Structure 1
């Protein structure tokens, strides 16, 4: 995998947090990735459910808008080819020949229909995030500290940015005439480093390049990779401004 630095300004490894930093350690129980589309008539119930689940303690909920429904009459205002590729990569890992919306992926472990809470709850009960991730946003920097943990494999550290809420009036397509509220809409996803079970990972990123006029929140996700495809999520932490 080739890593592209965050806006060309990846600052590399650091050995410790700044002395005046206030360390915040967050260990959520689940990362939920909803693949959705403004052009999908079945998606609004899943979008509403994601908003509900996002209120649960320990849940990081993200909305990935795909672009493959744009052809039916409405161009998704958040749709991105990169999101479609991310979903296809999950399908390839699970050796599935299809992708669909709404789909909820739980901790990178299992994908279920995004509007079926019982299936989502069952998937959350089957897996957990065992790797603590600490974030600090003092001194104009995002400092990420991820401890080592034996028994796990090398993993990718991802930075995912999002906007926490968006109300969209849909004028064409299957949802024509509806006003839909979207929660934690992903605006970018990029690799910023590697995590190793022996050494852990310690990263610093300019906060001004993480939080911009296009987003107001960010998530650090540590995710296994299997033959170039996304594996289980080991740990995550989120913050919002």
Structure 2
């Protein structure tokens, strides 16, 4: 632990796998505007419902509600279309853009519960570089907490999932990382309340340096900011 709040894992990693929303960019304002309107239309308790949307695919969030007469696929597409249109207030998690740009392109991926069109729109809005490997909701049959998305990212990068470090912010994504069998680093930038976790945590990417060492493995170091 450094004096400026980093708690970095000390392993060496073949690749770094990043969740998107809440992990490398903050889209909470836009997402909650759209989901609040949707929840209101369906007579839901908005305050109770909003915490359930983070980290999961829209279709899974809606399916869990089992609302009579509601087609989760159609409703999820409507949510996605609205989110693609509304990117106001979407920003990077502090330091994320520069940190990602410092990584070798063959050694990182983004693994998101968002559809591809939405992921690209949000990364563009936040100034986040688009990775060579992007795994989205359309790429897997079962979303987080199922580990398939992370296993697919490792496969596409041609590395062993056990040699990857997964960056996550939400409980459902952390569970997916654990189920995949990879170490997890929790990003707390968008957390309103402290999260109890046994994993290493960071608040932002400021002060973190990725060093490529022997065999191309990456090690995270405290840059001393």
**Normalised TM-score (structure 2):** 0.27
Would you tell me which structure has more strand in proportion to its own residues? Answer: 1
**Normalised TM-score (structure 1):** 0.26
Would you tell me which structure has more helix in proportion to its own residues? Answer: 2
Choose between structure 1 and 2 for higher RCO, CA contacts under 8 A separated by at least 6 residues: 2
